[in-house]
Structure formats: C-alpha cells, structure tokens
Amino acid sequence: MAGILFIISAPSGSGKSTLVSQLLTLVERIDFSISYTTRPPRGSELDGREYHFTTREEFLRMVDAGEFLEWAEVFGNFYGTALSALDRAREEGRDLLLDIDVQGALQVMEKLPAAVSIFVLPPSPQVLEMRLRNRSQAEHMTVEAVIERRLAEARAELRHLASYRYALVNDILDKAATELRAIVFTERINSGDLRAALSDGASNSLTSSAAAVAATCRTNTPSKRLRAALATFEQT
C-alpha cells in the first residue's frame, strides 16, 4: 500500500523543526524529506541532514529538468522538494513528511489533494518574536529588520490556515507532539493501513482517543485553544 504524504508548515521560529524531530522518535515507518535550498547553513546545520545545500545555478537546473515536486523563493533563497523522495517512499510503502513553507504547501495540495496538510503556529506573536530573537542571538546575527519581516510574514501565512486540514499550537512541546502523533495515527486508520497505524506500539484501544485528539486540530472546527492563538495575531 502506498504511504501517506504529510505536509507540515509553520512560520519561521515556531519550533517546527524540534516538533518534527520529536515526531520521528514517536512514529515508525515515516520518512522525512530533506529539502533542497540555496541559503547558507545556519549554526550547526549539516548538508544532507537539515537540508541539501546547493547553488542557485544547480537549483535552477533542477527546476528546468522537472526534478521538483514543489519549489519556491522565500526571503531571497530557493527551497524545493525533490520528486525522488516521494517516488522512493511510494515504492517502499512508507509515509513521507514534507517540511515546507506555505507557498510550496499550496503547490503540493493542488497537485496531490489527498496529502494531509498540517499548520503549526506559536501561541502568540509575542512568543514568536521571543523565539526569533533567541535564535538570532544564538546565531550571532540579530537584525531588527529581519525579525520584523518574519513577524509580518507569519501573519501573512496565517491567512492560508483554512487551506490546511489540521492546525496545532506549539506552546508545550509534548502536547504538540502528542497532537501531531494523533493526526498521523488517525490518518493511517482512515487510509485503511491499520498495520502502519499500529507500528509505533499503539493498540486498537487507542484508536478512538487518537481520533478525538486529532479532531481538536481540524481547521474546519477549530478548538478554543486554536482560536485563542489566532486571535492574538489578529489583534496586533
């Protein structure tokens, strides 16, 4: 059985990478697609781990050759997902997780409507600003204009939240990871792949509880927690 394609997007600084890492320790039979980018590595990032770092010339060659499922230019740098990652996961019957920005996510949703889309947002713009400042300070490159631009971009990205199937608030890492795991579990059940759903050690008795948790993250019936987080961005 072909695996499920999961898409996860979030404003820069939302803690998405940490959340994804947590998920990969909790769920088996899911591959993480490593995107290509033309931006330089940050901090301790390594080529082939966080991203495939490449030149603009090579990236554009891959675009012309039709090697990307999606690609976009974000803050002056190119990012893209290679089709080979999706083909490999399909051949092996494994799920694939794409960590991509809103531009790329919308492209994939249009091409592959069955993809499971998930948006991660911080609890408030104040928390997002704090995280952005902490990350910038750790990288020794705090620039006010960059922080303001990323905050503005976050508000712009939130306007597309309704296009996603799920959304969750990353305020408490363990809680957000539990919600993300429940979404994966529930979508595996819905796809009829019970073996994959249970491969991470869960039992049939958890099916209903996971579905209940996942339901609180549906964008068409937003939870009180999600509505509260969205309201903080609308008020600023």
Is 20 part of any domain? Answer: yes
Instruction: Answer whether residue 54 shows pLDDT above 90.
Output: yes
Strand order in the sheet with 30-33: 30-33, 95-99, 5-9, 116-121, 166-169
CATH code assigned at 193:
3.40.50.300
- Note the pLDDT of residue 206: 60
pLDDT in tens, 120-136: 999 999 999 988 888 77
Strand order in the sheet with 52-53: 52-53, 36-37, 77-82, 68-74
- Note the pLDDT of residue 144: 81
Q: How confident is the model at residue 137 (pLDDT cuts 50, 70, 90)?
A: confident
Dihedral angle over CA of 16, 20, 21, 24, nearest 10: 170
Is 44 part of any domain? Answer: no
Residue-range definition of the domain harbouring residue 178: 5-32+95-234
Instruction: Classify each residue of 155-177 as buried b or exposed e, where b means 16 or more C-beta atoms within 10 Å of its C-beta.
Output: eebbebbeebbbbbbbeeeeebb
Q: How confident is the model at residue 175 (pLDDT cuts 50, 70, 90)?
A: very high
- Note the pLDDT of residue 74: 85
Instruction: Identify the CA nearest to 2 among candidates 126, 111, 95, 81.
Output: 95
133 burial via Cβ count (<10 Å: 0-12, 13-18, 19+): middle
Q: Which stretch of 111-120, 146-155, 186-195 has the lowest confidence by average pLDDT?
A: 186-195
Is 67 part of any domain? Answer: no
C-beta of residue 222 within 8 angstroms of C-beta of residue 214: no
Is 43 part of any domain? Answer: no
- Note the pLDDT of residue 192: 79
Instruction: Answer whether residue 138 shows pLDDT above 80.
Output: no
Numbers of helices and strands, H then E, in the chain: 10, 9
Is 13 part of any domain? Answer: yes
User: Distance between CA 178 and CA 213 in Å, rounded?
Assistant: 8
Is 62 part of any domain? Answer: no
pLDDT in tens, 75-93: 889 999 999 999 999 898 8
Tell me which of 62 and 14 has the higher pLDDT: 62
- Note the pLDDT of residue 119: 97
Is 51 part of any domain? Answer: no
Q: Give the amino acid at 139.
A: E
C-beta of residue 77 within 8 angstroms of C-beta of residue 51: no
Is 142 part of any domain? Answer: yes
C-beta of residue 96 within 8 angstroms of C-beta of residue 3: yes
Q: Residue holding tokens 């948790």?
A: 213
Q: Which stretch of 1-15, 21-35, 59-73, 177-191 has the lowest confidence by average pLDDT?
A: 1-15
- Note the pLDDT of residue 191: 86
How many percent of the chain have pLDDT more than 70? 90
**Most distant pair of Cα atoms in the chain: their distance:** 52
Q: What is the pTM of this model?
A: 0.87
Tell me which of 207 and 71 has the higher pLDDT: 71
How many percent of the chain have pLDDT more than 90? 62
Report the domain count for the chain.
1
